[in-house]
A and B are shown apart, each in its own frame.
Chain A
Amino acid sequence: MLELNNAYAAYGRIAALKDVTISVKKGEIVTLLGANGAGKTTTLRSISGMLKLKRGEIRYKEESIGKFPAERIVGLGIGHVPEGRKIFPRLTVEENLGIGAYLVKDRKLIHERKQKAFELFPILHERRNQKGGTLSGGEQQMLAIARALMQDPELLLLDEPSMGLAPILVDFIFDVIRTLNRQGKTILLVEQNARMALAIAHRGYILQTGRLVLAGSAKELEANPEVQEAYLGG
């Protein structure tokens, strides 16, 4: 469904991705792991068009999308839940959801999806008239996911959804991810929490300073001694 071929990205003259090749097949949860600064966020930003690759290719459903602007890529069915949630602080919860469905013209459909989002995250329904900026971190993360779901993407890019959340909320978010996957969403998950990510993923990749160093099924990676040492705390 998605392929990155020899992706090379740089900020100014500093390379952030060096010839990264990864793929995500329909129906999978694929996780992208790595230490701080490894290039995980850069990978997701390249896929969603926020950052243009210097070299390499991005294919989505057999189409080369590397040159498309971000606002067009969303329309192809790639939803991006960015690092740090990035909800709109001065829009209400409901307006945040509404803007998530910016490309959806059918009002009935928008309404239905809002209801679905509220079913998934009932707390957002309680908070629907509150400004996004006044939500707690966990609520903001739920809102960020719900907002991306409003355009019913086939592929969901999640950038560290568990960051800064209490353990119970982390469990909840991972449950949500698994549920979404069962409902048919393909997921590319960037995480620091390698243990939990590998527990729900089918496959994984490990990035180190912009280079891909390991790839394999979640089981293989969990069993790999290097991975255990570096990412699973021995």
Chain B
Amino acid sequence: MLDSLLSLLPQILFEGLLLGFVYAMIALGYTMVYGVLELINFAHSEIFMIGAVAGVEIFRSLSNIIHNGYLLLLVAIVVGGLVSGLVAIAMERFAYRPLRRRGTTNRLVPLITAVGVSFVLQDLVRLIEALWHNEFFLRMASVSDLEGSVTVLGIFIQYKSIVVIVVSLAMLAGLNLLVNKTRLGTAIRTVAQDMDTARLMGINPDRVVSSTFFIGGSLGGVAGVLFALQYTTISPYSGFLPGIKAFTAAVLGGIGNIPGAMVGGLVLGELETLAGTYLPTLTNGTIGTEYKDIIAFLVLILLLLFRPQGLLGQIVKEKV
């Protein structure tokens, strides 16, 4: 029995990696926004969902026009990223900024706002889809040249999985460059550390906040497209679970910490996939695969109890 469990391991680790990249990209949205505003944007799960829906719609409407699956996917990724990024900007502009202007200090207020925004976005997407297609459960159209697969070292790999990995790696690397090497990235880190003093440098914090929402939103949107590609069925309510898991990943890596969100996403993706496979086997089916979803919540509860600063926590101790 141990042998069969072990022989599955490479495949499981690979699946975990795929899921982990998706979580990591969503987690970045939570962590970046928290970094600049100390706000947990719970509506970020809907930004992810909107990206997924946009991706599905692109496949649905363009698969007769664009026959190359990779080109189609590229279009879907770009559109999904843009749409999500813009919705995120609008969300900040119309929901969170007015609260900031009013100088609301109660942390509960933006939190409740975020929940409200979530409901609004879910039902807005539902309404649009219902009017447009008469249904709001969407299936990703399958495009033949994305459906192939290879087996490497005993691991069954679909072509589209390779796309997921390549795109995620490119996005994560791009984000690292952006945040650490560019003028905008430095401004984002500066605002995250001290918004008032950032203004003395000539930085307009509102613009930096908008950019942060756009970047986090686009990453979430692209993650949505990749998620739809990999897991095929999407609804206006598909954001909730991946969203809360990615939030857990962000907390796991230390909320506000960008590399932490990436690590947290990968760890959570692996944990969940391992649990989904091994729990049923180890318990002779008493605990089914569906319990894998509990892993994220378990991790979240344990973290909040024992290590709220996350695995990586704060990188530098600050002097006052």
Q: CA separation between A48 and B186, bound complex, in Å?
A: 22
Residues of B in contact with A (beta carbons under 8 Å apart): 183, 186-187, 189-190, 193-194, 196-205, 315-319
Could you tell me the distance in whole angstroms from the C-beta of A65 to the nearest C-beta in chain B? Answer: 14
**B316, A80: Cβ atoms under 8 Å?**
no
User: Is chain B's binding surface mostly helix, strand, loop or mixed?
Assistant: helix
Asked whether, in the complex, the Cβ of A71 is within 8 Å of the Cβ of B186, the reply is no
For A48, the chain B residues whose CB sits under 8 A away are 200
Q: Which residues on B sit within 8 Å (CB–CB) of A91?
A: 186, 189-190, 193
| Distance, CA A147 to CA B202, complexed state (A) | 12
Q: How far is the CB of B172 from chain A (nearest CB, A)?
A: 20
Q: Could you say which of A50, A133, A134, A140 contacts B200, with CB atoms under 8 Å apart?
A: A50
> Separation in Å of the A9 CB from the closest CB of chain B?
16
Given contacts A89-B193, A91-B186, A98-B186, contact A75 B202 (CB under 8 A): yes
On chain A, the residues within 8 Å of B201 by CB distance are 71, 74, 99-100, 102-103, 147, 151
Within the complex, the shortest CB–CB distance from B21 to chain A, in Å, comes to 26
- Whether A102 and B199, one on each chain, are in contact in the complex, defined by CB atoms closer than 8 angstroms, is no
Q: What 3 pairs across the A-B complex have the smallest Cβ distances?
A: A103-B202, A70-B199, A74-B202
Contacts of B187 in A (CB 8 A): 99, 102
Q: Would A99 and B186 count as touching, CB distance under 8 A?
A: yes
Contact with B along A80-102 (1 / 0, CB 8 A): 10100010111100010011101
Per the bound structure, the CA–CA distance linking A79 and B133 in Å amounts to 58
Q: Which of A82, A90, A99, A147 contacts B316 (CB 8 A)?
A: A90
**Does B204 contact A71, Cβ atoms closer than 8 Å?**
yes
Q: How long is the Cα–Cα vector from A148 to B205 in the complex, in angstroms?
A: 18
Q: Which residues of A22-81 have CB atoms within 8 Å of chain B's CB atoms?
A: 48-50, 69-72, 74-75, 80
Q: Which residues of B contact A202 (CB under 8 A)?
A: none
B199 lies within 8 A of A50 (CB) = yes
- A90-125 interface mask toward B, CB cutoff 8 Å, 1 = contact, 0 = none? 110001001110110000000000000000000000
- Provide the bound-state CA to CA distance between A74 and B205, in Å: 14
> Can you name 25 A-B pairs with beta carbons within 8 Å?
A49-B199, A50-B200, A71-B199, A71-B204, A71-B205, A82-B200, A88-B190, A88-B193, A88-B197, A90-B193, A90-B315, A90-B316, A90-B318, A91-B186, A91-B189, A91-B193, A99-B187, A99-B190, A102-B201, A102-B203, A103-B201, A131-B316, A133-B316, A133-B317, A134-B316
Q: Which residues of B contact A71 (CB under 8 A)?
A: 199, 201-205
Within 8 A of B (CB), among A132-146: 133-135, 140
Q: How far is the CB of A77 from chain B (nearest CB, A)?
A: 11
Interfacial chain A residues near B203, Cβ < 8 Å: 71, 99, 102
Q: How far apart sit A73 and B202, CA to CA, in the bound complex (Å)?
A: 8
Given contacts A48-B200, A91-B186, 4 further A-B contacts (CB under 8 A): A71-B205, A98-B186, A135-B319, A151-B201
Q: Say yes or no: B189 contacts A50, CB within 8 Å.
A: no
Choose among A74, A75, A99 the residue with the greatest number of B CB atoms under 10 Å from its CB: A99
Could you tell me the distance between the alpha carbons of A151 and B315 in the complex, rounded to whole angstroms?
A: 29
Once bound together, how far apart are the Cα atoms of A49 and B196, in whole Å? 11
Among candidates B189, B202, B204, B319, residue contacting A133 with C-beta atoms closer than 8 Å: B319
If the complex has contacts A89-B316, A91-B193, A134-B316, are A70 and B186 also in contact, measured as CB distance less than 8 A?
Answer: no
Chain B residues near A80 (CB, 8 Å)? Answer: 200
Chain B residues contacting A135 (CB-CB under 8 Å) are: 319
Alpha-carbon separation in the docked complex, A89 to B205 (Å):
18
C-alpha gap A140/B319 in the complex (Å): 10
Assuming the contacts A95-B186, A99-B186, asked whether A89 and B318 have C-beta atoms less than 8 A apart, the reply is: yes
A98 to B185, CA, bound (A): 12
Q: Give complex CA distance A124, B183 in Å.
A: 21
Q: Nearest Cβ distance between residue A128 and chain B, in whole angstroms? A: 15
Bound CA span A102–B197, Å: 13
Could you tell me if B199 and A69 are in contact, using CB atoms closer than 8 angstroms?
yes
User: Which of A89, A100, A140, A151 has the most chain B CB atoms closer than 10 A to its own CB?
Assistant: A89
A82 to B202, CA, bound (A): 14
A74 near B200: Cβ-Cβ < 8 Å = yes
The answer on a CB contact under 8 Å between B319 and A89 is yes
B-side contacts of A151, CB under 8 Å: 201-202
Contacts A89-B316, A133-B319; A70 near B200 (Cβ below 8 A): yes
Chain A residues positioned under 8 Å from B186 (CB to CB): 91, 95, 98-99
Query: Which residue of B193, B197, B198, B317 has the most chain A CB atoms within 10 A of its CB atom?
Result: B197
